Structure 1
Amino acid sequence: MKNTISERVADFLKSFPPFNALDSKQLDILSMEVVILHKENNAIVFTEKEAPHEHFYVVNKGAIALTKKGSSQILDICDEGDVFGLRPLLAHESYKLEARAHEETILYAVPIKHFKPLALENKRVGNFLIESFASNTRNPYSIKHRGKLYGSGDTAEKLDPKILDLQPISYSTDLITCTEGTKIMNLATTMAKNNVSCILVIKDGLPVGIITDKDLRKKVATGECPITEPAKTIMSSPIITYPSELTLAQAQMAMMKSNISHLILTEDGTPDAPAVGLLSKHDVMVALGNNPAVLLRAIKRAMDAKVLRKIRHGIMNLLQGYLDQNIPIGLVSKIISELNDASTKRVIELSLQKMPSEPPVPFTWLTLGSQGRGEQLLNTDQDNAILFADVPADELEQTRYYFLKLASLISTDLNTIGFEYCPAEMMASNPAWCHSLWEWKEVTGRWINNPGPDEILLSSIFFDYNITYGDRTLADELSDSIFDHARMFPQFLTHLAGGALQNPSPSGFFRDFLVEQDGEHKDFFDLKLRALMPIIDAARVLILSHSIKSINNTAERYEKLAELEPNNKELFQACSYASKALLKFRTKQGLLHNDSGRYIELQRLNKEEKIKLKRTFKTIKEIQSLIEIRFQVKNLIR
């Protein structure tokens, strides 16, 4: 006879982490051991400093308030599906908080002695235990938990088993051939005419040798062998052949083993059968698909924006693959940012070719905002600026006209390859974002000396600039000027810190997500405004206060701050973790819904995703408290 109560328990638990990671048999066994508790409003579950129970708890219905003993301030609210009381069981210590029913509540008490063996068997469950242990600490990024937390970025799960050595490879069947007696001059002409890198030497219908571009360079171009000699003189022979059913991994291994760049495929894999195809190292690289090196090479070879747009589709596929395989988000952002920068650089090179003349003076193309920070993983809008060398006053407007025309070409092609135009026109094609070095010093100095709301907003965008193309010395000199002004007018940092606190808290009373109240995204959670921007803005003002340049990435800024301020190391490392976790979350949501990932429909998130997202909110609150105190924002006269 079935135990209907345990069935109901199992049916409930399977919807929430970590129980959703258990198989049905494990869940049924565990559910048989669960104790159901009923708590009246205000009833105590456990008190502060009480020895840990033999169970941890899951809220079935109602809510549990967590407080410090003797305090009326509620530190947290656990509602349906939330787990609490787990950390003391793992740490073998007394309860740090008091748990009290906030309303009439039904709890499931899960015995740790029955649950722990399941955690040891199941990696996902074990990770949840570690995350839960860390969630009540300031720093889930600590050495103790590193590599075991969502988005921490230090380990990757095993790759998806799409086994490469079972993947067939396409090869060229359009063979270009010659005989042993063909003169080198004639075969070279045939190779050039057909735009191929090798030619097969045939005798009696069978392959006997191969001649590659490398043979022509090493043996003919050096003068070692006259071009009137026959093919037999320079061909590589005997040949190494393989069957046509060659797989990708086998092709890679064969090329590495024999140190060759071309494989000859025959009907049966032997030299005694007719050749049916030819495989080059380039073919293997293309077959590998979304390989960063292949994409980077393709970007550099692209001759127009339409080709670059196709390549960027490959970059997005690469990004999706990395996320599917749980590659560390720090590494992912570096690779994708490099490919983004390479795409922008190639657009600039192609645009320069369209200009009627060379640039009149050295210049620097600055990418701003998320791309400047190396955090633009999705195709969002473009923010950029041009900085050009100083010229005499009577040449300034003519010089600016040249760079505005160049910027217009660049901006158009960036839009073609997938970067939308900036709605606020913060682009180099706008005269307000195209200045000489002297002018940029004046502009940024004015922002710092007279910081109003607009100046703070512009500073927040501009001060994350990255040099994508051009003269680095111009940008370095501008950075020095910015830091000099910031030191002369320390009140600017207070205003910048005030701006960083303008973004509302991610959560409201009792941990509820604060959602948009009206407009197109009503009832959606603004991940960028309420979670990412507070972390990003705080990092910017803190790193600027230390006069550190050339570190734009938010996570890297916090890691540098942890070095500079050992007393705040734990908090800064937590911020680094949170910034990467949020970036990964936004990227996944953006790829899933084919948008920027900014607005999240909470109803479409499962409980586990909500828990992971909420885990970063405590860190956001703490870093905002730090900058409020450090920069005396409360004393700011608005």
Structure 2
Amino acid sequence: MNHLSMERVLERIVQSEQFDEMRVTRDQVHEMFREHLLFSYKPELGSQINQVHDALIQRTIEIAEHLLEDEGYGKPPTPYAFILLGSGGRREQTLWSDQDNGLIYEESDQYDHEELDVYFEKLTSYILHGLDVLGYPPCEGNVISSNPQWRQSLSGYHDMMLRWLEEPTWENVRYLLILADFRCIYGSKDLVAKLKHAFFDYVQEHQHVLKHLLSNTLHHKISLGVFRNLITERYGEDAGGFDIKYGAYIPIVNGIRLLAIQEGIAATSTMERISQLKQLGKVSEQIAKDWETAFGIALQLRDMTPFQIENEKYTTRGKLRAVQLNKETRILLKRCLLTGMDLQKYVMKSIEHIEREKG
């Protein structure tokens, strides 16, 4: 997709007045991108895909605000930030990513908590309806702004985050790692910055929490056997295929994320995190290059996974079919996985080093 056509796509999205209108644009763009991914993959395609997702989500929020105003609810009573988490927060969405989002609002002397929650609950319902029309399925883990846990005031988020940090159970650590990837897609970036600063300040002052983050980080292992053989799916319609999402992509994302948290790097993109680790002198240029190459392979193969449309929603199981695992793909994949295994060992040693220094 060339630069001019991207401009036209983004212009169509910005000028859309209805959710149905944007769905037509998304379907057309989806097919255009899909052809490029299948026949002439280029790394910049991922950036363009995420640019389109951002534009669709931002316009959805604007339309939702207008709908509420038209119904007599007025403009937002206080500044707020609509945030993306997961792959959206990292700017690593595929064509068929689901909804992982939340909403943070500023407290106000003019409105009480109940009044603010009523407005933002209503706004969220309109936003999520729009995203539903556009074909984004809700997060299976309920990390979504319709869940009151992910729709709170800034102080509510801050208190919740502190509870997770002070009680690092498996579930709380999972939430912390989800939160570490959040970014503002629309609204007040200042609210997001304040919460991020609070998170990193706590970790720097209480580095023992990194040990708790480590076990969750290494939960998903690289899917490579002891004899360097691919660990493929054994049963069902994916038999013989490879789980690129949880066998390669997520382990690399998790490892780089924890290193970034350790160093107080606020960037959410995995590639940007690697770049900043290199700039800070925390990893050598060669190691950073190896990680970038491996992650690039994971992104490319993840974008090649088959998708389906179920109940008008774009979905994927994140797995390559057996027929896609030709010789060239296997060579690329093994290169990615071997580097991923080295990364997981590197992360473990890095956190253990902190523990030894404390001891």
When the two structures are superposed, what TM-score results if normalisation uses the length of structure 2? 0.89
Distance in 1, matches of 2:23 and 2:246, equals 29
C-alpha distance after superposition, 1:257-310 (max 9, x if no partner): xxxxxxxxxxxxxxxxxxxxxxxxxxxxxxx99811000000001111111111
Amino acid at match of 2:31: N
Distance in 2, matches of 1:560 and 1:592, equals 36
Task: Report the alpha carbon displacement of residue 625 of structure 1 after superposing the two structures with TM.
Answer: 0.5
Distance in 2, matches of 1:324 and 1:526, equals 18
Aligned to 2:348: 628
Task: Report the alpha carbon displacement of residue 394 of structure 1 after superposing the two structures with TM.
Answer: 7.9
C-alpha distance after superposition, 1:460-491 (max 9, x if no partner): 22211121100111111111111111112212
Does residue 54 of structure 2 align to residue 341 of structure 1? yes
Distance in 2, matches of 1:406 and 1:369, equals 22
Relative distance call for 1:634 and 1:452 in structure 2 (3 A) is farther
Aligned to 2:281: 565
Matches within 5 A, 1:248-397: 291-323=5-37, 326=40, 328-329=42-43, 331-355=44-68, 356-391=73-108, 395-397=112-114
The CA RMSD measured in Å over matched residues stands at: 2.6
Aligned to 1:405: 122
Relative distance call for 1:523 and 1:635 in structure 2 (3 A) is farther
The match for 2:185 among 446, 460, 468 is 468
Q: How many residues end up aligned between the 2 structures?
A: 348
Conserved? CA contact 1:362–1:388, under 8 Å: yes
Conserved? CA contact 1:588–1:597, under 8 Å: no
- Greater relative contact order structure (CA < 8 Å, 6+ sep): 2
Distance in 2, matches of 1:592 and 1:352, equals 31
Task: Report the alpha carbon displacement of residue 521 of structure 1 after superposing the two structures with TM.
Answer: 4.7
The match for 2:299 among 575, 583, 603 is 583
The match for 2:151 among 425, 434, 445 is 434
The match for 2:176 among 459, 465, 474 is 459
Does residue 325 of structure 2 align to residue 605 of structure 1? yes
Does residue 265 of structure 2 align to residue 552 of structure 1? no
Conserved? CA contact 2:306–2:319, under 8 Å: no
Higher helix share: 2
Conserved? CA contact 1:539–1:554, under 8 Å: yes
Aligned to 1:227: none
Tell me the secondary structure at the aligned position of residue 306 of structure 2. Answer: helix
Conserved? CA contact 1:404–1:430, under 8 Å: no
Amino acid at match of 1:503: H
Conserved? CA contact 1:405–1:429, under 8 Å: no
Distance in 2, matches of 1:587 and 1:597, equals 12
Conserved? CA contact 1:367–1:384, under 8 Å: yes
Tell me the secondary structure at the aligned position of residue 330 of structure 2. Answer: helix
Task: Report the alpha carbon displacement of residue 393 of structure 1 after superposing the two structures with TM.
Answer: 11
Higher strand share: 1
Conserved? CA contact 1:364–1:474, under 8 Å: yes
Relative distance call for 1:511 and 1:575 in structure 2 (3 A) is same
Tell me the secondary structure at the aligned position of residue 514 of structure 1. Answer: coil
Tell me the secondary structure at the aligned position of residue 103 of structure 2. Answer: strand
Aligned to 1:514: 231
Matches within 5 A, 1:235-254: none
Aligned to 2:203: 486
Conserved? CA contact 1:382–1:427, under 8 Å: yes
When the two structures are superposed, what TM-score results if normalisation uses the length of structure 1? 0.51
Task: Report the alpha carbon displacement of residue 494 of structure 1 after superposing the two structures with TM.
Answer: 1.7
Conserved? CA contact 1:299–1:343, under 8 Å: yes
C-alpha distance after superposition, 1:114-165 (max 9, x if no partner): xxxxxxxxxxxxxxxxxxxxxxxxxxxxxxxxxxxxxxxxxxxxx9xxxxxx
Matches within 5 A, 1:13-162: none
Task: Report the alpha carbon displacement of residue 447 of structure 1 after superposing the two structures with TM.
Answer: 1.6
C-alpha distance after superposition, 1:441-471 (max 9, x if no partner): 1111222222111112112222111211001
Distance in 1, matches of 2:108 and 2:256, equals 35
Task: Report the alpha carbon displacement of residue 602 of structure 1 after superposing the two structures with TM.
Answer: 2.6
Distance in 2, matches of 1:413 and 1:290, equals 27
Tell me the secondary structure at the aligned position of residue 632 of structure 1. Answer: helix
Task: Report the alpha carbon displacement of residue 591 of structure 1 after superposing the two structures with TM.
Answer: 5.9
- Give ranges in structure 1 of 5+ residues lacking alignment: 1-158, 160-287
Relative distance call for 1:577 and 1:493 in structure 2 (3 A) is same
Relative distance call for 1:523 and 1:488 in structure 2 (3 A) is same
Relative distance call for 1:441 and 1:559 in structure 2 (3 A) is same
Distance in 2, matches of 1:531 and 1:393, equals 49
- Give ranges in structure 2 of 5+ residues lacking alignment: none
Task: Report the alpha carbon displacement of residue 569 of structure 1 after superposing the two structures with TM.
Answer: 2.6
C-alpha distance after superposition, 1:290-335 (max 9, x if no partner): 8110000000011111111111123223323443564531x22222
Amino acid at match of 1:310: V
Relative distance call for 1:604 and 1:379 in structure 2 (3 A) is closer
Distance in 2, matches of 1:477 and 1:463, equals 13
Task: Report the alpha carbon displacement of residue 634 of structure 1 after superposing the two structures with TM.
Answer: 12
Relative distance call for 1:587 and 1:290 in structure 2 (3 A) is farther
Distance in 2, matches of 1:518 and 1:486, equals 42
**% identical aligned pairs:** 26
Conserved? CA contact 2:220–2:251, under 8 Å: yes
